[in-house]
Structure 1
Amino acid sequence: MTVSPVRTGLRAAIPTADGWRTVELNTPREWRLHPGPYSSRVAFAAAHVVADPRGDNVPGAPAAIDWDATLAFRRHLFGYGLGVAEGMDTAQRNMGLDWRATQELISRSAAQASELGGRIASGAGTDQLPDAATAAAPATLADVERAYLEQIAFVEGTGSQAIIMASRHLARAAAGPDDYLTVYDRILGQTSAPVILHWLGEVFDPQLRSYWGSTDVGEATESFLTLVRAHADKIDGVKVSLLSAEHEIGLRHALPDGVRLYTGDDFNYPELIRGDDHGHSDALLGAFAAIAPAASAALQALDDGDLARYDAELAPTLELSRHIFEAPTFHYKVGIAFSAWLTGHQAGFQMVGGLQSARSLPHLGRIFELMNDARLLPDPELAHHRLLVLAEALGAAR
């Protein structure tokens, strides 16, 4: 990451709900690139898409994407040794990114990963079907199965590993745990390589309430484990996004040998990746898209066996991640896109589906402040200028 010098003592104005306050801009840090993988953990960053600022990115419209900026951001992630988790909820699947655009996104990213020697895994779901919430007739279990198989075949055909995403259509169609097991049994029986199973919690998508057939997390976990144990040879790992460290640790201990636990816990990732005497989690995190240089530094420390340095590298990022993912967690994607704008990875702050309006100016101002605290702003003065431009555009000029 190329950084710009900051004049000593320069102050930044931060918009708040009550007015403005000032903080001192920190000197940016020179983060060390690490284009190769890590020996101690497998780590993916779930990447966002950059909207075309001239595109008709309004709610309900097909996604218009700035492909150059979107792929440049993935190059940035690969440069820090992170794999890319493509076409996931971070990329606004089911929130503005349609299946047509998703196919192009996965194809382009898989080609880039092959060129750069990076690792990529991409989401396969059922979102080519009519919208689960508004369709006149719900999808049947057979429809869900066919849709999954179509997307898995596409993803694997690009050379990417497949991540089997949670399906809104299945959540609506399933009458209970047996329906989930039946559908997943059939699709896992036809995958060509080990996949990652993604359990996305209700906090990330309310339409996934009672996934695996129960609102009781313990009962849902038993159904999930029944599936994993039956197909352990077809499952590289499971990504769990329930924001509960206690649940994740318990699940991790219950997984069959050889099945990884990819943490999706953006509230507790430092301790879960660090692990304990009984094991650790690998990582597949939206937060890593916002903190890639610090995540890389921490993973380098783990590879060196330096736990104290690992803790020190991630400690300044945790409050930032918890703020980006605060309730309503469903809208965390706004913070990921905003952080990319502040760090110069995209020219404007716009999202497909017009989603940039889903977080308030004070919320975004706090992101700026926490990124400054963590020394994640390569050009703090530019980032502050952009924050002020946004505030003025929203009618909150000083």
Structure 2
Amino acid sequence: MKLSNRVLGMQESPVRKLVPIATKVKKAGKKVYHLNIGQPDIETPKIFMEAINNFDTNVIKYSFSQGEPILIEAIQKYFMRDNIDFEDDEIIITNGGSESLIFAAISLCDPGDEILVPEPFYTNYNGFTSAVNVKIKPITTNAANGFHLPDKETILNLVTEKTKAILFSNPGNPTGTIYTKDELRMLADIAVEKDIFLISDEVYRGFAFDGLKLISMGTFKDVASRVAIIESVSKRYSACGARIGSISSKNKDLMKNVLKLAQARLCVPTLEQVGAAALYTLDDNYVEGVRKEYEKRRDIVFKTLSEIEDVVCEKPTGAFYVVAKLPVVDAEKFVIWLLEEFDVDGQTVMLSPAEGFYATEGLGKDEVRIAYVLNSEDMKHAMDILKLGLQKYNSL
């Protein structure tokens, strides 16, 4: 029996593909510091479980396909902190930000259509789109200028009659880049000129460093009908397993049709929505405390990378990732070597080879993504192991 070309053509996750190797060496007694996946170690706020435990009902019923009203209202109030005003029917709760992205691709594109995405990009963008026969077309960025966008003309030259949207994460995964107001203005102008949509993945909102302030695409009122914002509790509130996200847009026609998809999958789990609603009530002091912690970890990572000869990377300004070009020919082989053949006192480190974050063949082969999601002490120790590992690898 032959499987579908659709599933056979899907990309394997560069974040998870080497997990079996890590599992094997851990079973053999080696400690592995996981810098390969964006799983925060910060404790999920207790109000999440408190809200669930206090939810008094005799029957766990289907939720509304659009989402629990208490959560929709909490997200509305959250956006209002940035003077972004969404009405009740302009927010739909989803199974993580992932489902929001799938819903956006299905709603905006027909099979064979294209979405422009700055590369390197969150690799599941490729999985979400290829599953519905939509093609990712890359806007290439590079480490030397901190993965900021190219000029307007370069992007315009990539737009064809099949282009239906530009999808981007801000702050960026895997780069940690925060786009400037001018960059976002440029994207807004392109959307108007070419009659396309903007899908703004803002799940790392709040994680901006060095005094920078994230500018949401939702603040550009003149293109509000062309913007969909992807949200999630996964990273900001360290609740990845809750799988609660949302898609929000002032384009009521888009939201009306996204709701069809939400109805087809019935609903998002009720209890997790109750817990997520409580998370959104946390004030900015909570997020600021988490932001400072990640900034401290960012500084540890960047300091070590800056001390290693021939490593190329700009200091990331947001999220909790950095993409670094290493003095190796093949980063995946290096990562496997770290796992299988290298250790310091029985300890090693796991990174994500960055080639899988690119759509352009050959790019990222000597790059890795580092997720600084461990406490500062472990982070420093892991980076010291990486530094020693590179020295050893290049002396072989």
TM-score, normalising length: structure 1: 0.34
Q: Which has the higher helix share?
A: 1
- Which structure carries more relative contact order (alpha carbon 8 Å, separation 6+)? 2
